[in-house]
Amino acid sequence: MSFLFGNGAQNDLWLRLGFADKPDGARFETGRDYAAEYNTPYGQNLPGDRDALLKLRERYPAAQFRDITGTVDAMRNIKRPQEIEVLRRNGRISALGDEQAIKIAHPGMYEYQIEAEAEYVFRYAGAQGLAYPAIVGAGLHANTWHYFFNRDKIAPGSIVVFDFAADLDHMTMDITRTFNIDGKFTPEQAKWYGVDLECQKAVIDMLRPGNTYEQAADAGKKVFEREGIAAQWYGWPGHFVGLATHDVMLPKGPIQAGQVVTVEPIVEFPDKHWHFRVEDTILITPNGPEVLSSAVPKEMTDVEKLVGSLPAPEAVK
C-alpha cells in the first residue's frame, strides 16, 4: 500500500501516537507499564502499540505521521447527549451496588465479600464490566490508595475505604465511600470525615461554567488550610471520567458544560490507619454541577445508619 503515499498533503497519515488508555488505566499509567515492560530483561523490546507504530513507519516510509491524540481527547472531554444518558444510568447502577455492599458490611466479613455484593448488583442491573478493580481497604490497608488484594478479614473498629463502580456501554464511573465497620465513627473520626465532606462540597459547588478548575480547587484547599492540614492537599482532587475512569486531559482552566469529573479530597492519618475519602462523579451542566453518584448516601449520619443495616451473609456468621 506504499503507493498510496505520494508527494504533498496526501503523505499525511493521522494516527494516535500518544499512549493508549483503557477503562481502568489512564494514558500515563499505560506509559508507566510500557516502561516497566521495556526495562524488564525478558520483556518486549517495544511493548503494546509501540511495536505496531514502528512497523507502520517501516512499511510506509513515505508517509508523514501526524498525531491525532489531542483532537480525539478534546472530543472525548465534552460528552454527547447519548453519552450523558449512559453516564447517568451508570451513576445510578454503581451507587445502588455500593449502597447494597455497605448495607451488608459487618465486622468479621472479608473485604472481598463487600466487593462481591456490589459487583452482583452491577451485573444484575446490566453493567458489562467494572470501571476498575474494587478497592476495599480496611484497617491496615486503609492508607493504600489503590489497594486491590481484598482478602483480609475486617476487624471491629476498622475504617473501610470502599472505592468501586461499574463500566456500562463503554462509559465508566468512580465512587468512594468511607465508613467505620462498626457503623459509628469515633468523635475524632467524625471530625475528619466532616472536614473531608465539607471540602468536597466546597469544590463541587464551584463546578459551574464561568469558573475555573483552579478556583474550584482553591475553595477546597481553604478548608484544609483552616484545619491545619494544607500539607495533605495534592492539587486538583480528582480527574475526568468517561471512556476511561482516569480519563484523558487534566482538570484545569475554564469549566465547561459536558465535562465529567470526580471530586475526591483525601484526609488521612497513616499512624492511626485512618483514610477519609468521599468521592463522587460530577456532570457539569449549563446550570451547574449534577452529582451522578448521589444515590449512595454520604452525609455522615446517613452513612452510619447504612452500615450493617442488613443481616450479614450466612457465610460469615
Give the span between the Cα atoms of 181 and 46, in whole angstroms.
46
273-306 pLDDT, tens digit each: 999 999 999 999 999 999 999 999 999 999 999 9
Beta bridge partners of 64: 12
**In 3-state terms, what secondary structure has residue 115?**
helix
- Rounded to whole angstroms, what are the CA distances from 237 to 23, 136, 139, 276? 20, 20, 23, 13
Give the span between the Cα atoms of 57 and 291, in whole angstroms.
45
Please list the pLDDT of the chain residue by residue as tens digits (317 residues).
444 555 555 789 999 999 999 999 899 899 998 889 889 888 888 888 899 999 999 999 999 999 999 999 999 999 999 999 999 999 999 999 999 999 999 999 999 999 999 999 999 999 999 999 999 999 999 999 999 999 999 999 999 999 999 999 999 999 999 999 999 999 999 999 999 999 999 999 999 999 999 999 999 999 999 999 999 999 999 999 999 999 999 999 999 999 999 999 999 999 999 999 999 999 999 999 999 999 999 999 999 999 999 998 776 55
Give the span between the Cα atoms of 215 and 225, in whole angstroms.
15
Domains of the chain: 2-67 (no CATH), 81-310 (3.90.230.10)
Share of the chain above pLDDT 70, in %: 96
Residue with cell 505520494: 6
DSSP string, 125-136: TT--EESS--EE
Contacts of 157 (CB under 8 A, 6+ apart): 107, 180, 181, 182
